[in-house]
Amino acid sequence: MNHDEYAASEIIQDTAMKLATIETVLDVRPHPNADRLELCTVLGWQTIIRKGEFATGDRIVFVPIDTILPKAPWSDFLADKKNPEKPIRLRTIKLRGQFSQGLALPLTVLPECVRGWNVGADVGGELGIRKFEKEIPAQLSGVAKGNFPRHLAPKTDEDNALSNPDLVAEVLQYPVTVTRKLDGSSCTIIVKDGQIEHVCSRNLSLVESETNSFWRAARKLNLAGFSGVIQGELMGPGIQGNQLALLEPELFVFQIRDESGWYGVGEVEHECIRIGAKFVPVILEDVRGLGLAYLQDLADEQFILEPEIPAEGIVVRPHVPRDYVGEGRPLGFKVINRNYGE
């Protein structure tokens, strides 16, 4: 296999996230601070629409945040007027004191042949929408050994709670543990008999190098006697503004698996001590009776180091690990801080 260099961004598209779907408007209510605007609920998302644009029960196209929109008549109002060639990234905004997350569009933006597709159908491809991918800093760039080895480990993407109400209900029937979601770079380390077989970014397995931050963090770990998968968030200099003010790249582990299955929270914490890794901050542990509204408020209250720096959000998982059926990854979801990147 040829080794292909990458630097500015990872070009392999992750298709797990639905980039636009046909959905039903759950409710429409007045915007409390704007007579010409209304608040529209789709799935778990709140988005702001023009007054009278949609009604409860309407079928629409919904586009979630963290997507890149094509240049089209329906997206033109979001384009940067001073820099029209700049990609249109859909992100959380706050308008007249209310959050708006995502974009509600009429079905007429779709080709006529797909407008009758079922609710939940992914129509992102028909609209030319793509997922927003963070740029890869120079110290994270390297030589690709190959694609992410999905046959050995799952990717670390968590479903957004607002996009998957059924998943939220499933997870919250169990006692859960809530951890802070750190905004670094996804890292997966695959180990056999104490020897590292793969060090991976979100999409690629990387060739070992002295300067690559993923490998620098992996080599610090005491992996003697371990076989399995270690996954976490890489933090440090040059990574998302180095929010923790670290002097060296550090891996903050959030899940570990060996041949017996995924570790529980206590087991992960204990193994982190043994191998010399950090564990992601725990906010709540082994609790029942939480609702999504409470979790959204909790996510909105998270900060990094200083109160003026919002954290990305939280991750919620059953305290005793449970797998997605047929997917081999632990059940869980993320709740994003609406103040983050607003």
Q: Confirm whether 341 is domain-assigned.
A: no
pLDDT, residue 47, reads 96
- The whole-angstrom distance between residue 200's C-alpha and the CA centroid of its chain comes to 17
pLDDT, residue 325, reads 63
Residues 147 and 278 in one domain: yes
Amino acid in the structure at residue 192: K
- The domain boundary, picked from 61, 94, 128, lies at 128
Q: pLDDT band at residue 329, thresholds of 50, 70 and 90?
A: confident
Q: Confirm whether 9 is domain-assigned.
A: no
Q: Confirm whether 12 is domain-assigned.
A: no
Which of 80-102 are b and which e, b meaning 16 or more Cβ less than 10 Å from the residue's Cβ?
Answer: eeeeeeeebebebeeeeebbbbb
Q: pLDDT band at residue 341, thresholds of 50, 70 and 90?
A: low
pLDDT, residue 142, reads 66
Range of 328's domain?
A: 138-336
Q: Which two tokens stand for residue 59?
A: 């079928």
Q: pLDDT band at residue 28, thresholds of 50, 70 and 90?
A: very high
Residues 167 and 66 in one domain: no
pLDDT, residue 172, reads 95
- The domain boundary, picked from 78, 93, 128, lies at 128
Residues 53 and 194 in one domain: no
Q: Confirm whether 2 is domain-assigned.
A: no
Lowest mean pLDDT among 47-61, 223-237, 299-313, 324-338: 299-313
Beta-carbon count within 10 A of 174 CB: 14
pLDDT in tens, 223-254: 999 999 999 999 988 888 888 888 899 999 99
Residue 69 CB contacts under 8 Å (≥ 6 apart), including other chains: 63, 75, 78, 88, 89, 90, 103, 129
Task: Indicate if the pLDDT at residue 162 is higher than 80.
Answer: yes
Q: How many residues does the chain have?
A: 342
Sheet with strand 67-69: strands edge to edge: 88-90, 67-69, 130-131
CA distances, 17 to each of 37, 130, 145, 276 (Å)? 29, 10, 24, 33
Residues 305 and 167 in one domain: yes
- The domain boundary, picked from 72, 97, 128, lies at 128
Q: For the whole model, what pTM was predicted?
A: 0.82
Alpha-carbon distance of 247 to 189, in angstroms, equals 21
Nearest to 21 by CA among 170, 163, 166, 165: 163
Q: Confirm whether 287 is domain-assigned.
A: yes
Rounded to an integer, the average pLDDT of 168-174 is 94
pLDDT, residue 15, reads 40
**In this prediction, what percent of the chain has a pLDDT beyond 70?**
90
Q: Which two tokens stand for residue 186?
A: 């996804």
Task: Indicate if the pLDDT at residue 220 is higher than 60.
Answer: yes
Rounded to an integer, the average pLDDT of 26-31 is 96
Residues 196 and 75 in one domain: no
